[in-house]
């Protein structure tokens, strides 16, 4: 499914007043993982308030042992430090990659900001090489803005 067609469903999820933010994040993960062929694993990692670590709040796809990631470690940890989008066409070409599954070929991590501070990120793994492009970046930035507004 084209990612743009998911926007109305994402708005419906994020505008539900009876859901907690973590529940909305989980519903977004489930929706993306189930409907975008190249989004094999989708998760939100949020920065700890006092420690330089990221904590997995929600995820869809295979379970992961990587529920806490130090800043600087792996692609997610690098984004926590750089505050910049990171698109990896081939995870095996990255020295600082943390392998979550032997099937993962590419990854995209988009930081989430609130009041100018990096508070977390959306992380997507794909079993397809070169799975992500600028449209994915803009779409995921939009999702992060919706989620951040509720935190």
Q: Where are any strands of DSSP class E within the chain?
A: 41-47, 53-60, 68-70, 86-88, 106-114, 117-126
- Condensed to tens digits (0 to 9), the pLDDT of residues 93-108 reads 666 556 666 678 999 9
Whether 92 is in a domain gets the answer yes
Q: Considering the domain boundaries, does residue 67 fall inside one?
A: yes
Whether the pLDDT of residue 110 is over 90: the answer is yes
pLDDT digits (tens, 9 = 90+) for 35-76: 999 999 999 999 998 999 999 999 999 999 899 999 999 899
Domain enclosing residue 96, as ranges: 19-148
Local confidence band at 81 (pLDDT 50, 70, 90 cut-offs)? very high
CA-nearest of 59, 60, 57, 31 to 45 is 57
Task: Assess if residue 64 is contained within a domain.
Answer: yes
What spatial distance separates the first Cα and last Cα of the chain, rounded to whole Å? 29
The helix/strand/coil state of 26 is helix
Overall number of domains in the chain: 1
User: Given pLDDT bands bounded at 50, 70 and 90, which one contains residue 139?
Assistant: very high
């Amino acid at each position: 499914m084209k990612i743009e067609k998911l926007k109305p469903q994402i708005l419906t999820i994020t505008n539900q007043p009876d859901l907690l933010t973590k529940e909305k994040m989980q519903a977004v993960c489930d929706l993306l993982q189930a409907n975008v062929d190249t989004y094999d694993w989708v998760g939100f990692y949020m920065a700890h308030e006092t420690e330089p670590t990221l904590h997995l709040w929600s995820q869809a796809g295979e379970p992961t042992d990587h529920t806490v990631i130090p800043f600087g470690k792996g692609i997610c940890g690098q984004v926590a430090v750089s505050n910049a989008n990171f698109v990896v066409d081939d995870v095996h070409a990255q020295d600082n990659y943390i392998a979550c599954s032997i099937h993962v070929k590419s990854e995209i991590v988009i930081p989430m900001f609130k009041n100018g501070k990096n508070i977390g990120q959306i992380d997507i793994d794909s079993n397809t090489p070169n799975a992500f492009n600028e449209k994915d970046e803009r779409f995921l930035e939009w999702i992060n803005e919706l989620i951040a507004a509720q935190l």
